[in-house]
């Protein structure tokens, strides 16, 4: 793993926060419910490998990702724990899943017919996905489930090791739709025998709010990263979450400009007086989107305003006074008593916290902290370069 980067913009991932969040959930749901740590999308932008390792050490026993590629990447980085792919996998790639000992999700009989042709002798482990109201992936009724079960029970190529569903509204105050989905799930799983397999329906919101409704596993995503599944339930969380994600940069240029000076593309910002303007080496190609213009960042423990349009690789900030080049600037995270939370950035963008950490691109290196010291750095840019030469 590469331990260097040459630009002063980075994500800090506090692995102790991840440990806290996993342990708190484990304590909340009890020893008999397993934690499936959801590390899709590079661990919601935090770094899948380090988050996976941390979650497993903290009490998670299974990992989940969205796509087979993500699962293979984890295997290639040395993760041996069970991995479940939540999304659809091409039937023709079932042999790869077997080779890497990865569990796939099945949701149609046609997929099984097709997959069968690509399996030589070994067995593929499968979790059945039921669609109880999410309308995304899943078997939708008892008849289809029965024919799927009949097909697999007659074949040694398929082993059903789990069955699950996903809620559309577990993070909302109104529980009617959630309860309907839960009832439908009960009905469907009761129509088949499900002893000795994993049965799971809960995401973070369900785990936090309804620890008694989880069957024997919970799929823990957003709250493992220390973020609330929604603003609606943020005030009724059963334990405190610790945010793991911070986005940092540094002033790379500082100048005093006279009143009337224009800043950035379109010359849309004009200095209202003689002003100190700082330049930050982060832009929309890093996921710091153009619509974040005029938003606040932290410098010298204070909130200050971004000015002018955000460029692809840089943006400008209005400083309260002269500050030296190299001064740390926090775009997400804390400086002393000030904090810009992921939720605050989500609100500015009119989106959800999930999207904010995912949108910070792989151009930004991730630095992993334990006990306030750096234990690892991941920088796909330089890692790939090294491999190619």
Ligand X SMILES: *Cc1c(COP(=O)(O)O)cnc(C)c1O
The site for ligand X, by CB under 6 A, has a size of 12
Residue 228 interacts with ligand X (CB under 6 A): yes or no? no
Is 1 annotated in a binding site? The answer is no
Is 316 annotated in a binding site? The answer is no
Strand 198-202 vs strand 158-165: parallel, antiparallel, or unpaired?
A: parallel
Which H, E and C letters describe 139-155, residue by residue?
A: ECCHHHHHHHHHHHHCC
CB 295 within 8 A of CB 275: no
Query: What Rg value do the Cα atoms of the chain yield, rounded?
Result: 24
Pattern 170-209, binding to ligand X, x per CB under 6 A?
Answer: ---------------------------------xxx----
Taking the complex as a whole, how short is the minimal distance between the CB of residue 168 and ligand X, in angstroms? 11
Q: How far apart are CA 117 and CA 239, in angstroms?
A: 48
Considering only 43, 82, 162, 221, the residue that binds ligand X (CB under 6 A) is: 221
Residue 53 interacts with ligand X (CB under 6 A): yes or no? no
Q: How far apart are CA 293 and CA 359, in angstroms?
A: 16
Active site residues: 40, 265
Where in 346-385 is the site for ligand X (CB under 6 A)? Answer: none
- The strand ranges marked E within 296-357 are 296-299, 302-307, 315-319, 328-335, 338-340
Relative orientation angle of helices 176-190 and 142-153, to the nearest 10 degrees: 40
CB 192 within 8 A of CB 231: no
Cβ proximity to ligand X: between 52 and 367 the closer is 52
Residue nearest to ligand X (CB): 221
CA 118, 105, 35 angle in degrees (round to 5)?
A: 135
Relative orientation angle of helices 109-116 and 142-153, to the nearest 10 degrees: 20
Piece of the chain touching ligand X by CB under 6 A; list 73-81, 220-228, 251-259, 337-345: 220-228
Residue 38 interacts with ligand X (CB under 6 A): yes or no? yes
Residue 127 interacts with ligand X (CB under 6 A): yes or no? no
Residue 86 interacts with ligand X (CB under 6 A): yes or no? yes
Taking the complex as a whole, how short is the minimal distance between the CB of residue 59 and ligand X, in angstroms? 16
Cβ proximity to ligand X: between 40 and 293 the closer is 40
Structure tokens at 341: 């939370």
Binding site residues for substrate, as ranges?
136, 312
Residues in contact with ligand X by CB under 6 A are 38, 40, 86, 166, 203-205, 219-222, 229
Binding-site members are 136, 312
């Amino acid at each position: 793993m590469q331990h260097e980067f040459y630009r002063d913009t980075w994500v800090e991932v506090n692995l102790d926060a991840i440990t806290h969040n996993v342990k708190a959930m484990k304590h909340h749901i009890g020893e008999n419910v397993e934690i499936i740590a959801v590390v899709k999308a590079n661990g919601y932008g935090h770094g899948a490998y380090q988050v996976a390792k941390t979650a497993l050490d903290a009490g998670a026993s299974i990992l989940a990702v969205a796509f087979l590629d993500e699962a293979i990447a984890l295997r290639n980085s040395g993760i041996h724990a069970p991995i479940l792919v939540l999304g659809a996998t091409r039937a023709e790639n079932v042999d790869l899943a077997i080779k890497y000992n990865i569990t796939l999700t099945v949701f149609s009989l046609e997929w099984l017919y097709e997959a069968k042709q690509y399996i030589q002798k070994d067995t593929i482990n499968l979790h059945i996905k039921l669609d109880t109201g999410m309308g995304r992936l899943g078997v939708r009724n008892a008849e289809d489930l029965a024919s799927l079960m009949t097909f697999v029970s007659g074949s040694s190529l398929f082993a059903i090791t789990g069955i699950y569903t996903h809620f559309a509204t577990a993070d909302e105050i109104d529980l009617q739709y959630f309860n309907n989905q839960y009832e439908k799930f009960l009905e469907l799983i009761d129509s088949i025998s499900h002893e000795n397999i994993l049965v799971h329906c809960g995401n973070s919101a369900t785990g936090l709010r309804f620890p008694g409704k989880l069957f024997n596993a919970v799929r823990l995503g957003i709250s493992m990263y220390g973020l609330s599944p929604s603003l609606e339930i943020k005030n009724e969380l059963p334990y405190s979450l610790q945010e793991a994600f911070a986005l940092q940069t540094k002033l790379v240029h500082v100048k005093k400009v006279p009143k009337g000076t224009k800043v950035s593309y379109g010359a849309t910002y004009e200095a209202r007086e003689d002003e100190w303007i700082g330049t930050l080496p982060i832009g929309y190609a890093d996921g710091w989107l153009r619509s974040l213009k005029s938003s606040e960042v932290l410098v010298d423990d204070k909130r200050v305003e971004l000015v002018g349009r955000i460029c692809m690789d840089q943006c400008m900030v209005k400083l309260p006074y002269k500050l030296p080049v190299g001064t740390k600037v926090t775009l997400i995270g804390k400086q002393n008593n000030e904090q810009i939370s992921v939720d605050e950035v989500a609100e500015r963008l009119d989106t959800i916290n999930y999207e904010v950490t995912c949108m910070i691109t792989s151009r930004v290196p991730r630095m992993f902290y334990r006990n306030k010291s750096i234990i690892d750095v991941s920088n796909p840019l330089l890692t790939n370069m090294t491999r190619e030469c």
